Homo-oligomer: A and B are copies of this chain.
Amino acid sequence: MKFLAEIEILPKKGLLDPQGKAVTHSMPSIGLNNVNEVCVGRFITMEIEAASEAEAHETADKASKKLLANLIMEQYKIRITAL
Contact = CB atoms under 8 A, between A and B. Distances in A.
Nearest to A65: B30
Contact of A40 (B36, B39, B42, B49): B42
Interface residues of A, number: 34
Contact of A45 (B39, B45, B47, B66): B39
| Copies of the protein in its oligomer | 2
Contacts of A31: 62
Contacts of A23: 44, 46, 67-68
Interface string A8-29: 1110000000000001101100
Interface of A: 6, 8-10, 23-24, 26-27, 30-32, 34-50, 59, 62-63, 66-68
